[in-house]
Structure 1
Amino acid sequence: MAEPVLEVSGLVKHYPLTRGVLFKKQVGAVRAVDGVDFTLGRGETLGIVGESGCGKSTVARMLCNLERPTAGAIRYRGEDITRLSGRALKAVRRNIQMVFQDPYTSLNPRMTVGDIIGEPYEIHPEVAPKGDRRRRVRELLDVVGLDPEYANRYPHQFSGGQRQRIGIARALALRPEIVVADEPVSALDVSVQAQVINLMERLQDEFELSYVFIAHDLSIVRHISDRVGVMYLGRIVEIGTDEQIYDHPTHPYTQALLSAVPVPDPDARERRERILLPGDVPSPADIPSGCRFRTRCWKARERCALEVPPLAVPAEFRHDTGPAAHDSACHFAAELRVVPPGERDADGDSSTRAY
């Protein structure tokens, strides 16, 4: 793995539940994020996937310090940014930028595109002299595939894909080292998704970026990611390289997610066994004891209700050097190939890839 630029350990975010109007009393908490650990290497893309409500976007906001964590640490180049404030925090934020999910609400409708992309220079004037900012904005528009003459237009004059390109240009204005992309293509058409994903891959090489790429579409995440973390109810339950997660999953939840990915080959679709999970995702205000996935897991035993499984290489794979030897938070982890073997495209990638 490359040199880590971001290290997250024990990250927790609880939102208090209160009762009363004048005299509010806390009666519980929504445990949106409840102990997340991962590292991000230089030039690496870490994908985070999971169902809606599992805490992905909350993690993204905490990485950019838009939300203060309840507990845990986020270390950028060895410094815990959760303890920073004032000028020190402002300096770190320059190096960690965000691309938001909705291209329609993330841009100010009263500002021109040039003002939107150039606004970071007003906050960090040391990055670009005042007389040079217009040229920088035009260059950024050209980099993301838009006509520099569009700088005087307003957001309502652009399509969703073009707006997301503007959001990406704004994120790149300060030449950050890390970009947190929170479901950047979920609101776009499939053809436009491919264009934006390919743009982000090209910019990663050009600007030497590290990505935290958050999405619920497994095929998109595999296409762009070097490593993938699977989240369930506020925690990462499995993490590894794209090959380990997609071709050799060991956690039951990951296996269930992969079984739901559409397969374009009708023959492969017939041979694949679909894993249907019973019930609904528990409320983050009332999380089950022990393993939080046990209420929907077909492998659940008494031990699952008593012990919280650690995110580590399962015991049966600890002496194995194969792709199944990766971190998985399950007491009864076992490898299961969900995508039928032999279903590969011309590049050797499995059929779960979309692009």
Structure 2
Amino acid sequence: MAEPVLEVEGLVKHYPLTRGVLFRKQIGSVKAVDGVDFTLGRGETLGIVGESGCGKSTVAKLLCHLERPTAGAIRYRGEDITKLSGKALKAVRRNIQMVFQDPYTSLNPRMTVGDIVGEPYEIHPEAAPKGDRRRRVRELLDVVGLDPEYVNRYPHQFSGGQRQRIGIARGLALRPEIIVADEPVSALDVSVQAQVINLMDRLQAEFELSYVFIAHDLSIVRHISDRVAVMYLGRIVETGTDTEIYDHPTHPYTQALLSAVPVPDPDARERRERIILSGDVPSPADIPSGCRFRTRCFKARERCALEVPALAVPAEFRYATGPAVHDSACLFAEELRVVPAEEHGNGPG
């Protein structure tokens, strides 16, 4: 793996549940993120996938320090940013920027495009001389594929894809090293998704960016990611390269997700066996004992309720070789080819 620029260790975010009006008493907590570990290499894209409510967006907010973690460490180039404040935190934030999910609510409707993209220079004046900011804003609009003459227009005058390009331009303004993209294409049409994903691919090479790319669309994540982490109920349950996760999954939850991916070939679709999970996702305020996936798992046994599986190479594969040898938090991990490699689409583009 490339030199790590971001290291996340034991990341936890619990939201307290309280009762009472005058005398509020904590009666529990919502465990949105409950012990997440990963690293991000320089110039690498880490894709984070999972069902809605699994904690992906909370991880994104924690990485950008929009939320304070309950516990754990987020190290940017060896420095734990969770302990920073004031000028030190402001300096780090310049290097970790975010692209938000909804291009319709993440842009201020009362500000022009020029003011939106140029706002980071007001917060970090050292990044650009005052007389040079307008020129830089126009250059950024050109870089993301928009006409520089649009600087005086307002967000409502643009389509969803154009608005997301504006959000990307704002994220690039300070020349960050890391971009945290929280489902940046989920609100866009499929054809526009492809354009935005290809744009982000090009910008990564041009600006030497590292991405944390969060999404629930597995085909998009495979297209853009070098490594993939699968989240379930606040924890990462499987992680590996895109080939390891998509073609050689070992965790039952990953296998169930992949079995739901649409296959363009009707014959292959008929031959494929769908994995249907029973029940609903448990509440993050009442997480099951042992393996948190066991209440919906088709492999669950009595041992699963007693032991918490570690995110590591399963015992069955420790002396093996090949793409099935990667970290998986399952006591009964087993490789299962859900969608044959040749039947995968190439994703956007």
Choose the corresponding residue for 2:345, options 323, 340, 351.
351
* Sequence identity (%): 89
Query: Which residue pairs with 1:3 in the alignment?
Result: 3
* 1:89 correspondence with 2:83: no
| 1:207–1:341 distance in 2 versus 1, CA, 3 Å | closer
Query: Which residue pairs with 1:189 in the alignment?
Result: 189
Aligned AA (2:347): R
* Cα separation, 1, equivalents of 2:142 and 2:248: 41
- Taking structure 1 as the reference length, what is the TM-score of the superposition? 0.97
3-state SS of paired residue (1:296)? coil
Query: Between Structure 1 and Structure 2, how many residues are aligned?
Result: 349
Aligned AA (1:57): S
Cα drift, residue 298 of structure 1: 1.0
Query: Which residue pairs with 1:267 in the alignment?
Result: 267
Query: Which residue pairs with 1:61 in the alignment?
Result: 61
Query: Which residue pairs with 1:20 in the alignment?
Result: 20
Cα drift, residue 160 of structure 1: 0.4
Query: Which residue pairs with 2:306 in the alignment?
Result: 306
- Report the RMSD for the aligned CA atoms in angstroms: 0.8
Q: Deviations over 1:144-174 (max 9, x none)?
A: 0000000000001000000000000000000
Query: Which residue pairs with 1:251 in the alignment?
Result: 251
3-state SS of paired residue (1:141)? helix
Aligned partners of 1:228 and 1:240 also within 8 Å: yes
Cα drift, residue 352 of structure 1: 6.8
Cα drift, residue 262 of structure 1: 0.3
Query: Which residue pairs with 1:228 in the alignment?
Result: 228
Query: Which residue pairs with 2:73 in the alignment?
Result: 73
Cα drift, residue 353 of structure 1: 3.3
Cα drift, residue 250 of structure 1: 0.1
1:122-137 equivalent positions in 2, closer than 5 A: 122-137=122-137
3-state SS of paired residue (2:125)? coil
* Cα separation, 2, equivalents of 1:44 and 1:351: 22
* Cα separation, 2, equivalents of 1:163 and 1:262: 28
Q: Deviations over 1:281-332 (max 9, x none)?
A: 0000000000000000011111100010000000111122200000000000
* Cα separation, 1, equivalents of 2:187 and 2:112: 22
* Cα separation, 1, equivalents of 2:342 and 2:227: 23
* Cα separation, 1, equivalents of 2:85 and 2:266: 55
Cα drift, residue 103 of structure 1: 0.2
Query: Which residue pairs with 1:320 in the alignment?
Result: 320
Query: Which residue pairs with 1:277 in the alignment?
Result: 277
Cα drift, residue 342 of structure 1: 4.1
- Taking structure 2 as the reference length, what is the TM-score of the superposition? 0.99
3-state SS of paired residue (1:138)? helix
318-327 or 182-191, which deviates more: 318-327
| 1:259–1:126 distance in 2 versus 1, CA, 3 Å | same
Query: Which residue pairs with 2:109 in the alignment?
Result: 109
Cα drift, residue 341 of structure 1: 5.2
1:284-299 equivalent positions in 2, closer than 5 A: 284-299=284-299
| 1:57–1:248 distance in 2 versus 1, CA, 3 Å | same
Aligned AA (2:249): P
* Cα separation, 2, equivalents of 1:340 and 1:202: 29
Aligned partners of 1:230 and 1:238 also within 8 Å: yes
Query: Which residue pairs with 1:173 in the alignment?
Result: 173
Cα drift, residue 244 of structure 1: 0.1
- Unpaired stretches in structure 1, ≥5 consecutive residues: 344-349
1:183-222 equivalent positions in 2, closer than 5 A: 183-222=183-222
Aligned AA (1:273): E
* Cα separation, 2, equivalents of 1:264 and 1:34: 37
| 1:354–1:275 distance in 2 versus 1, CA, 3 Å | farther
Aligned partners of 2:223 and 2:346 also within 8 Å: no
Aligned partners of 1:262 and 1:352 also within 8 Å: no
Aligned partners of 1:4 and 1:41 also within 8 Å: yes
* Cα separation, 2, equivalents of 1:41 and 1:321: 24
Aligned AA (1:118): G
Aligned partners of 1:12 and 1:69 also within 8 Å: yes
* Cα separation, 2, equivalents of 1:334 and 1:81: 38
* Cα separation, 1, equivalents of 2:284 and 2:136: 44
